[in-house]
Amino acid sequence: MIATSLRYSPQALSEYLALRWLAGAETAWFGAYAPDRSTLVPSRQTTVANAEEVLDALRVSLSDIDPATTGLLLSGGIDSAILARLVPAGLRAYTLRFVAPGAIDESPAASHFASVAGLRHQVVDVGWSDYETATDGLALRKRAPLHAVEVGLHKAALRASGDGLTTLIVGNGADSTFGGLDKLLARDWTREAFMARYAFVNPRRVLRDCGDSERAFAAWSDGETFDTAGFLKVVHGEGVTQSFMNAIGAAGCAMRAPYEELVLGVPLDLARIRGGESKYILREVFRSLYGAELAPEKIAFARPMDHWLRGWRGPERPDFLDIDIDEFAGEQRWLLWSLDRFLSLLERLYG
């Protein structure tokens, strides 16, 4: 077991494992050591209610794009495919490809969208060696352990910076605003049931001393029902935004997230989402830009952590219980690996 001199906040450890970030405004790792949350909400907000208004708002948001200084992170899904048709032809687009047996490869679909939109497309390969190299620096900049996507995003942003770009356009915000997280919207939840479904790692399963990871959920419940859409837009969405900003900013690039500027002015049509039409408004926007071409089904932005962390035997720090790491899926292992590494890094620097 690793010796320790710092006393870490059980609240911080619990929030990271349950939510992938420190959602509490006052939550810190120790003392006042905490991430910067000051720039998570975009200054420009446009209320939209239908596909036509969404398309108009996105056109306005992207009307000043300079392809000499701006690029696009392009996946194989509809969110970034829509943006690809709204930026100037010739703009550079970057797609992540995780290198591991059985890893999902979005680059063929992304290449198709780039070709249709007339963009210059590059595929950025990401392997476990990139995570071993970049994790500590990114975590210190963020003052928090990482979301599993950050290293890949950072490598793409470094490629863009090397190409002379200073800004990257990203598609995040679309899922949390327009009903892309359809499995979480598939039913009405009580707070307790949603917490059990959403929490990435239950802190009580792994920590010797737990904080109150439930407080992040409390504001979204009236005691009987849970505002799933509101939680996903704010708590889930801001955590993802923080990760994107850290990864891209660490490469010297600014981030532009046009979907984060949009506020849905009408309730989500949950019946349509539960009937198989996730992001039904954005699907209509996609059809208006790509004609009869079928919108691709959502592919989870999966990192092959099952493969990369298959030989890791679990955290060694005294903050953790003695757990059987084989009981945890790849993304859960990442959270445990990242937190264990981050705490040891802080110990070396501040202990």
Calpha distance 54→46 (Å, rounded): 9
Nearest to 22 by CA among 12, 9, 8, 30: 12
pTM of the model: 0.94
The answer to whether residue 84 scores a pLDDT higher than 80 is: yes
Q: How many CA atoms lie within 13 A of 169 on its CB side?
A: 30
* Residue 300 pLDDT: 56
Q: In the predicted model, what is the mean pLDDT of the chain?
A: 93
Single-letter code of the amino acid located at 71: G
pLDDT tens readout for residues 95-107: 999 999 888 899 9
* Residue 302 pLDDT: 64
The answer to whether residue 78 scores a pLDDT higher than 90 is: yes
Q: What is the DSSP letter of 96?
A: E
Task: Tell me if residue 221 falls in helix, strand or coil.
Answer: strand
pLDDT tens readout for residues 13-50: 999 999 999 999 999 999 999 998 877 766 688 999 99
Calpha distance 228→223 (Å, rounded): 13
77 and 3 together in one domain: no
DSSP structure string for 139-186: HHHHTSPPPTTHHHHHHHHHHHHHTT--EEE--TTHHHHHT--TTTTS
113 and 212 together in one domain: no
Q: What average pLDDT does range 244-260 have in this prediction?
A: 96
171 and 256 together in one domain: yes
Between 82 and 213, residue with greater pLDDT? 82
What's the pLDDT band for 138 if we cut at 50, 70, 90?
Answer: very high
81, part of any domain = yes
107 and 22 together in one domain: no
184 and 82 together in one domain: yes
Cα 18 to Cα 27, 175, 207, 291: the distances in Å are: 14, 19, 12, 41
Q: What average pLDDT does range 143-153 have in this prediction?
A: 96
pLDDT tens readout for residues 105-123: 999 999 999 999 999 999 9
The answer to whether residue 297 scores a pLDDT higher than 70 is: no
The answer to whether residue 298 scores a pLDDT higher than 70 is: no
Q: Which residues partner with 33 through β-bridges?
A: 30
pLDDT tens readout for residues 263-285: 999 999 999 999 999 999 999 99
Task: Note whether 48 and 265 are within 8 A (CB).
Answer: yes
The answer to whether residue 259 scores a pLDDT higher than 70 is: yes
264 and 333 together in one domain: no
23 and 77 together in one domain: no
* Residue 303 pLDDT: 77
Instruction: Please give the structure tokens belonging to residue 239.
Output: 């955590």
* Residue 37 pLDDT: 83
Instruction: Please give the structure tokens belonging to residue 87.
Output: 């930026």
What domain range includes position 338?
Answer: 1-34+202-220+309-351
Calpha distance 309→295 (Å, rounded): 33
193, part of any domain = no
215 and 67 together in one domain: no
Task: Note whether 99 and 125 are within 8 A (CB).
Answer: yes
Instruction: Please give the structure tokens belonging to residue 117.
Output: 């939109």
Long-range contacts at 123-127 (CB < 8 A, ≥ 24 apart) = 123/94, 123/95, 123/96, 123/97, 124/94, 124/95, 124/96, 124/97, 124/152, 124/155, 124/156, 124/159, 125/97, 125/99, 126/96, 126/97, 126/98, 126/99, 126/151, 126/152, 126/155, 127/98, 127/99, 127/100
197, part of any domain = no
Q: Which of 276, 292, 308 is the last residue of a domain?
A: 308
3 and 144 together in one domain: no
In CATH, what number is assigned to the domain containing residue 168?
A: 3.40.50.620
Task: Note whether 175 and 273 are within 8 A (CB).
Answer: no
The answer to whether residue 2 scores a pLDDT higher than 60 is: no
Calpha distance 224→97 (Å, rounded): 43
349 and 249 together in one domain: no
72 and 136 together in one domain: yes
178 and 238 together in one domain: yes
Q: Please count the structural domains in the chain.
A: 2
117, part of any domain = yes
Residue ranges of the alpha helices (H) in the chain?
10-19, 51-61, 78-86, 107-117, 128-142, 150-162, 174-178, 191-198, 203-206, 215-218, 228-231, 237-249, 270-274, 280-290, 305-308, 330-350
242, part of any domain = yes
Q: What average pLDDT does range 62-69 have in this prediction?
A: 96
* Residue 301 pLDDT: 56
196, part of any domain = no
